[in-house]
Structures are given as structure tokens and as C-alpha cells.
Chain A
Amino acid sequence: MTEVSIERLTKTFGSARAVDGISIRIADGEFISLLGPSGCGKTTTLKMIAGFEEASEGAIRFDGKDVVNVPAEKRDIGMVFQNYALFPHMTVDQNLAFGLEMRKIAKPEMLSRIAKVLDMVQLGGYSDRYPNQLSGGQQQRVALARALVIEPKILLLDEPLANLDAKLREEMRVFIRDLQRRVGITTVYVTHDQAEAMTMSDRVVVMFGGRIAQIGAPSDIYERPENLEVAQFVGQVNLVRGTILGGTITGPAGAGKSRVASVFGDVAVDSRADHAPGTAVTLSLRPEAIELKPAGQGGAQGKVMARYYSGSIIDYRIALDSSETLHVQTFPNIRIAEGDRVSVHAPADGFWLLGAAQ
């Protein structure tokens, strides 16, 4: 199996730097996602790994061997395209056989490999169908099968679920993730959907403007975002102003924490860097971490401006008396109506220190 290492990879189009010196090491068998808004360079990066775009600078190594000058057809990659790119004039079988023919695999082995992979993607009886006779989800699985049947070094997926409806998309997330685990193939997955990246990946690479903003495990990205941009991209956040207080926090629970004064009182907040006492800082506060109680039960006081019911959760907009607005998400087991006054409680572990206020 294959380890991929990307070093200071750069792609320029004219004077624009679509990808600007990124470095990533992908371990053998790892599932890594490139996550970012459109135009952040994630697809260009994927295309450079695949060999469809030439790298302007930097190196791409598969198991230590630089492949920058190897053409796409010789890189031994499996790729799944956003629109699947199934060959419309070939049946499912012929689509799967194509890559094996290019590798001059003998007929009997070819047939057994195709059968095995089709079985794996649960399309046993569909060999003779043409792509346009399949549903979107089935086409998706054929595309996956076509990429896997050649037993490539690396599997590359370019927003493969973007064209599916919401329910199918969630099923396919699990399906692809399980399949990848079973096959154990090194996988690079490009998406702009943070939930997709979170549920599927071992690690997520968040990209903005051609650069890497943060690399880390999904929980790391979500709970300890590098900066405001990352925090806002991977989920909804409330921003709370605060001021660093002097004095140290003792005890094991206080390691790496700063004491910050805020509307929610003094809280011990996780942070990556130390700030001098008196520094104005921005804290992030996740909506689902906040707890609402009837008015007068301590915490910050505020008023419910709006309430949005969506089944499994309820969203609230709360206007704090200190003039800040909060977005709160709770389970629908408390009955609070629009216009009610509430007490807002935020546990210390719901905060994260993003950095000095701008």
C-alpha cells in the first residue's frame, strides 16, 4: 500500500496562485479529506495528485518516489469524478473491464475481479446495464467499483456525493467509509461539505485561498479550530468578547487554559497560545454547548428573539442584555417560547479561545 507525501506543492494560473505551497503527509491506508469553499484549491490539488494538472512547483511522492513527471495514465490511481464520468457507450461490465484491459489482465482474472468488486458495491446483477439505465446512487457505486477494480495505489474522490439527494448522500458516506476501511486503500477525498469530511475522514485538511488553514482529526478541527475562518467553516459558532485575566490556573484540569472575563463570568478557556493579561480576545462558543433555563436562574440574561423548530433540535436566537446575539441549539425537551426571558448558561468546555480580538 501507499504513503503519499506532498511537499510545497504550488499551482499558478498566470499570476494567480490556485495552490500555494501546501505540504501534507498521508499515511498508508489513511482517509484524508480536503475541505474548503469552492476556489480554495482543493480540486486543483487533487488533480495534481492524479496528474491531470501539472504542478508548478513542489513534489508529490508516492512511497517516496516523485511522480510529478509521471503522466496520469501511469500513476496507478483510482479516481471517482463528481459526475461519475462513466463511459456512456459501455455497459457496467465494460466500464469496469476498461482499466483491467489497459493493464493487460487475463480474461479469467478480469472476470473474477469484476465480479468481486461488483459484489462489494452491491451491484451484482447489473453487469449488462448501460450507465443511463442506472440511478444516481448506482452510477456512483459503479464509478467507485471502476476505480477500485484496478487495485490502484491511491483512491481519489472529487466531490463524489455532490449530485445525490440528501438521504442517499448520508447512506453513501457510510458506505464509502466502510468500503475504504475494508480495502484499506489510501484515500484523498475532496468536498466542500464539512459534515461529509467529518464523518468520513481520519484527518481533515481545511483549505482557504490555496493554503492549508489546519490539518487535524475531525474532532480537533471542530473543537480546536486554528482560527475564526476554520471555526465558521466547520460549523456554526457564537463569538464572545473577552479579556485575559492575570493569574495562573492550577491543577491538572487547568493545564493549557487561560482565564478570561466574559459576559458569562470568568471562565477557564482552552487555547493554543498564551496571551498577556489584559488582552482583548475572541472566544468561540458552540451553539449546542449552551444551556437555556427560565429567567432568573443565574448565568447571562437575555430574551428569545426567534425560535426555529426542526424536529430533532430547536434553534433559538437569543438577544443578551449585554447586547450580544447568540445562536443556541437544544434538544426539544424544554419549552421556551419566543419573547420569553431566559438565563443562558455556557459550560467552560464549550468555549475555545480563537485569538486576540481584531
Chain B
Amino acid sequence: MMPARRKGLGPLILIAPAAVLLGVFLVLPYLNIVVMSFRMPGQGTPYGAGFTIGNYTKFFVDSFYLLQVANTLWIGLITTAICLVVGFPVAWQLARGAMRFRALAYGLVLSPLLVGIVIRSYGWTILLGNAGLINRTLTGMGLIDRPLPLMYNALGIVIALVHVFLPFMILPIMAAIQGVDPSLESAARSLGASRFTAFRRIVLPLCTPGIQAGCILVFVLSLSAYVTPSLIGGLRVKTMAVTVVDALIDTFQWPWGSALALMLSVTGALCVVIFARLTRMKWKVGRT
């Protein structure tokens, strides 16, 4: 029960600053970028006069960009899948394991979040480079003659992205598993279900919202990741976010960059909706 709600405008003062901030600096810029994506390209200026749908037709006509979007989605998908497979057992152990060092383990999962994404990607370049730690060690042990191609390709990007986003997969799943009463499993087993069946029929469906949240979070984050693909992929493998940012920072093609950014975001959102439909759960935004 809540304390009796006070009438009048008083409480609105509490939400007013946030409303103004989000209204002015989030809603308006998003409206602006949509408009921008229909502007004419400029000559020596960021954009020209008049409107066009040329930026979008260019996108759909040029297979280079379509391919790049597909590539970006593919990397996001693989990253998400690996995060799920790698993260689930850890989430399980954190939620259910009788560990003496639970706090430490939790800290370990959180620790990457305390370290900036640039630094973490940098760490991976040290590890994955041709003269990096892994290749040096393997050649030193005589296991390989030539360095393995770990960097400047999709493999390296995926490895680093999995690392960067793994905590975002583990934490919601852990929370979901913690929310499932362990006695439900006992109940299922008392009714004759095997440990695996009890997990599959009882626990898994109940923590699906957490899994969904984790997957969506990781997928969306990897689509818009810029630093990691940029440092690990170098010039050879570019994801959409890298192309978009470069189009804006280096060549000042604002309308074109806007259209690209929006297309990437819309495609990502479509994927999320399809995913939510496929897993057939009521989807609540961000509820973990």
C-alpha cells in the first residue's frame, strides 16, 4: 500500500527535470536525426538544402551496405549465442552453487564492467595480435609455425565482444534463476522427473524472461559496439557502427550517416521483435 497520494502539481516537480532532459535531449534529437536522414547531401557542408529519399535508396541498392548489415547482424547473433552458452552455467553457479566465495565470484563477473571498453579491447589486442601473447606462447611451445589469424577478423571481434558483454548476459539470468524457488525443482523430482527434466520443464521456462533480457541486451549492445570492432577489426573487417561513425567523423556526410544509423537500429529492433515472438514470451522492455 502506498501512502495516500497527494493531489496537485507538487509531485510533478520531482519528474519535471528528467522529463525536460529526456524531452529536449533525447526525443528532439531523435526526431531531428530522422529528418536529417531525408536531407540532401551537402557540398562542403554537412548537408544540403531540400529533402530526398536518396539516402535510403542508396542503402538498398548498394549490396556493399546490405552485406555489411548482414555481417554486423551475424556477428551480433554469434556473440549473443556464445554469451548465452558460456554465461548460463556461470549464472547457475552464482545463483545456486553453495560457494564460500560467492561474493568474490560475483565481483569477478562484475569486474569487467568497472574497466572501460577501450582498455578491455586493448587487452584483447595484446592477447590476440600476431605478435600477441597467445601466438607467442603457442609458437614458443612449438605448437604452430605461423601465428594464428586471431585479430583483424570476425573471430577476434566476436571473442572480444563476448568478453565485453558477458556480464550483461550473466547478471539477468542469475537474477532470474534466483527468482525460481528451488523447492519447485524438488517438487518436480518428487513427482518423478529426472534432474534434467526438472530443469527443462520447470526451471528453464521460469527463467526465460531473464534469458530473453540477457540475449536482447547483448545483441543490441553488440550491434552498436564501436570501439571493439574498430580496434580488433582494424581496417579489414568493419561493422556497421564503425562505418556509420566513420561516415560522420571523417567525411561529414550527415544525411547519409543518419540513414545508415537508422537502418542499423531499425534492423536491430526488428530482430529483437522477431526474437521475442519466436520465444513466445510476453516481452517487457528491460525488465530483468
Contact = CB atoms under 8 A, between A and B. Distances in A.
Contacts of A54: 4
B11 interface: no
A248 to B, nearest CB: 55
B95 to A, nearest CB: 24
A53 B1 CA distance: 12
A52 B5 CA distance: 11
Nearest to B3: A52
A54 B5 CA distance: 11
Contacts of A53: 4
A266 B208 CA distance: 69
A16 to B, nearest CB: 16
Contacts of B3: 52
B163 to A, nearest CB: 39
A144 to B, nearest CB: 22
A224 B4 CA distance: 39
A52 B4 CA distance: 7
Contacts of B4: 52-54
A54 B3 CA distance: 11
A53 B4 CA distance: 7
A179 B3 CA distance: 30
B5 to A, nearest CB: 11
B10 to A, nearest CB: 15
Contacts of A52: 3-4
A14 B3 CA distance: 17
Interface in B1-56: 3-4
B218 to A, nearest CB: 37
A14 to B, nearest CB: 14
A52 B6 CA distance: 12
A55 to B, nearest CB: 12
Nearest to A53: B4
A69 to B, nearest CB: 14
Interface string B243-260: 000000000000000000
A127 to B, nearest CB: 30
A54 B4 CA distance: 8
A107 B117 CA distance: 55
B159 to A, nearest CB: 46
A54 B6 CA distance: 11
Interface string A23-58: 000000000000000000000000000001110000
Interface of B: 3-4
Interface of A: 52-54
4 contacts: A52-B3, A52-B4, A53-B4, A54-B4
Ranked nearest first, the 3 interchain pairs of A and B with the lowest CB-CB distance are: A53-B4, A54-B4, A52-B4
